Structure 1
Amino acid sequence: MPTIEIQTIPSTEELDQSILNLENYQWIVFTSVNGVASFFHQVYALSRDARSFKGIKIGAIGPATAKALAERGLHTDYLPQIHTSQGFVSGLKDQDVSGCRFLLPRADIAPKELADEITKLGAEVHEIIAYKTVPPNEAISQGKQMLLAGEIDIITFTSSSTVTNLLSLTGDEQPAIKKAIVACI
């Protein structure tokens, strides 16, 4: 039972201007496959492509994100050994990013930690909302009924959003979750 749905942000002036003025950035950091897909949805809508990223260093938090970038014609210049925001910033410390301008397309609920830590290295970070995570509308009632009936044996959480949304969905009936094995990635 999915507990999150990814929604591309409709075109906004801020998002469009960021894409139309990519030459103002030295770095663009993508934190997820969803961020890549949503950002490029708008890149293509504005009749742009991989050529618009010429001269910009591309960062990806993990290998799946780097693969999504490669599928769109972009080489990842920096992929940390530890695939977390902390791992990304730790590796950036070996590079001189002081004075660089970073563009950080992200989810509406993404923590500010990555931007804050890059800023501490002397860089300027422009965060842009590229997508939203929302509870899905479909299959919720059936999934909730199955959970409450004890018919779900294993629950796998893929992000903090999936945890938040399931807890919101179950409300006062959260003890039903205790009947299942819970795994988090």
Structure 2
Amino acid sequence: MQSLQGKTILITRSKKRAEHLLHHYTSQGAKIIHIPLVETKAPSDHFASLDSALKHLHDYDCLLFTSQTAVEAFFTRPSAPSAEELSCRVFAVGPQTKAFLEKLGVQDIEMGTVSSSEGLLQHLKQFDLEGKRILFPRAKDGSDVLIDGVKRKGGNIIFVEAYQTEFPKDFNKEAFLKLLQGDDVDYIHFSSPSAVNHFCAVVKGQAWNEHHIQFFTLGETTKEALQQTPFAHLLKN
């Protein structure tokens, strides 16, 4: 990778999850501007569907996690099992989600060779999913790739809302656009499809210095989300 010494990177990840990224880039000599584009909040049903699923967790064969936020929401509910009590197979979308599960004591976590929903689906397709009950806690507006793919393989996948994403309450659109219209930012880092979607909503119809800025992404799922936008050409390899 080209040296980041003296470069300015705009980090869009939530305050709660950004510490590792901030250290990663500052250790390479980069300057950091941290403006979160995503904030998580409780699900629209106030955890009713997740709590109900947790009470019947013994009825499920598999458990799918596609984000650290979903893992946290799952294991912090009052009726959540301990890691040792989990009897179903656990699948993670990628190494960061897997590592987060391992920190909680969960073992024997499976994942695909590609860190995306599609990659995890390809891994799941190796198994006989016919009639299997699969619990999938995720964001309210998450991707349906896994849901549709598992259903086509005969699996009974149950999606439960674990959290919602929204713009941070203190987000200042005018100040954000003013920053992008100057030459101060060299790179923007996106950690989730939600951050990509929020960015696109902010800059839609607005003039900004896209000829100067390149994008980094965390994980294949976020990369794929960015590739579906008009700004795919800004993605740095």
Give the counterpart letter for 2:39 in structure 1. Answer: E
Counterpart pick for 1:162 among 195, 200, 205: 195
Give the counterpart letter for 1:173 in structure 2. Answer: Q
Residues 47-126 of structure 1: pairs in structure 2 closer than 5 A: 48-53=81-86, 55-126=87-158
Counterpart pick for 2:56 among 21, 24, 27: 21
- Alignment CA distance shift 1:163-1:93 (3 Å): closer
Alpha-carbon shift at residue 128 of structure 1 (Å): 0.6
- TM-score for both structures, normalised by structure 2: 0.69
Alpha-carbon shift at residue 117 of structure 1 (Å): 0.5
Residues 135-146 of structure 1: pairs in structure 2 closer than 5 A: 135-141=167-173, 142-146=175-179
- Unpaired stretches in structure 1, ≥5 consecutive residues: none
- Alignment CA distance shift 1:13-1:52 (3 Å): farther
Q: Percent identity among equivalent residues? A: 24
Q: Which is bigger in relative contact order (C-alpha 8 A, separation at least 6)?
A: 1
- TM-score for both structures, normalised by structure 1: 0.86
Decide whether the 8 Å contact of 1:60 with 1:76 is kept in 2.
no
CA distance in 2, matches of 1:47, 1:89: 25
Give the counterpart letter for 1:5 in structure 2. Answer: E
- Bigger CA drift: 126-135 or 71-80? 71-80
CA distance in 1, matches of 2:39, 2:155: 32
CA distance in 2, matches of 1:166, 1:5: 13
- Unpaired stretches in structure 2, ≥5 consecutive residues: 1-34, 219-237
Decide whether the 8 Å contact of 2:180 with 2:208 is kept in 1.
no
- Bigger CA drift: 120-129 or 3-12? 3-12
Decide whether the 8 Å contact of 1:22 with 1:52 is kept in 2.
no
CA distance in 2, matches of 1:177, 1:137: 26
Whether 1:2 and 2:36 are equivalent positions in the alignment is: yes
Decide whether the 8 Å contact of 2:187 with 2:215 is kept in 1.
yes
- Alignment CA distance shift 1:6-1:177 (3 Å): farther
